[in-house]
């Protein structure tokens, strides 16, 4: 296929496509200068933070740390009766608020004001 052959194959009406032209707005250059000036005054770190790569890396780090946290909590709690998640630990009924403070055998509740025998 050569160009001459292509031109012969091209219908005449397709020439109409080239009849439609668009000119840029007269104020284009002024706007471009304004954009360049605005970019020049913006701090570099802000532009760096706005880069898609930075945003994506931050998101990936967040997901990875959440996954690692969940895995660690799961492996610690599994099989030994300890709460599996932070929420479970908070909702635990031992009154320790998930801190897991060991209580002495036979000790009374801290708010009972009872005297141990």
Give contact residues for other proteins (rule: CB under 8 A).
1, 3, 6, 9-11, 13-25, 28-29, 31-33, 35-36, 39, 47-48, 50-53
Q: Cβ of residue 53: shortest distance to other proteins, in angstroms?
A: 7
Please name the helix (run of DSSP H) or strand (run of DSSP E) that holds residue 104, with its range, or none. Answer: none
Distance CA 107, CA 92 (A): 19
Minimum Å gap between C-beta 61 and other proteins is: 19
Q: Which CB, 23 or 109, lies closer to other proteins?
A: 23
Q: Minimum distance between the CB of residue 6 and other proteins, rounded to whole angstroms?
A: 7
Comparing CB distances to other proteins, the nearer of 3 and 113 is 3
CB atoms within 10 A of CB 58: 11
Helix or strand or coil: residue 116? coil
Instruction: Decide: 98 and 89 in contact? Cβ < 8 Å.
Output: yes
**Shortest CA distance to 77 belongs to which of 68, 86, 65?**
86
Measured from the CB atom, is 22 or 116 closer to other proteins?
22
For residue 58, the minimal CB distance to other proteins (Å) is 15
């Amino acid at each position: 296929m050569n160009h001459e052959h292509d031109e012969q194959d091209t219908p005449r009406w397709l020439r109409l496509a080239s009849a439609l032209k668009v000119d840029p707005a007269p104020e284009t250059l002024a706007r471009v200068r304004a954009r360049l000036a605005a970019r020049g005054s913006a701090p570099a770190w802000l532009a760096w933070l706005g880069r898609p790569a930075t945003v994506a890396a931050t998101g990936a780090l967040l997901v990875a740390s959440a996954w690692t946290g969940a895995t660690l909590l799961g492996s610690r709690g599994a099989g030994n009766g300890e709460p599996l998640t932070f929420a479970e630990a908070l909702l635990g009924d031992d009154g320790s608020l998930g801190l897991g403070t060991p209580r002495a055998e036979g000790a009374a509740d801290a708010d009972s004001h009872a005297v141990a025998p």
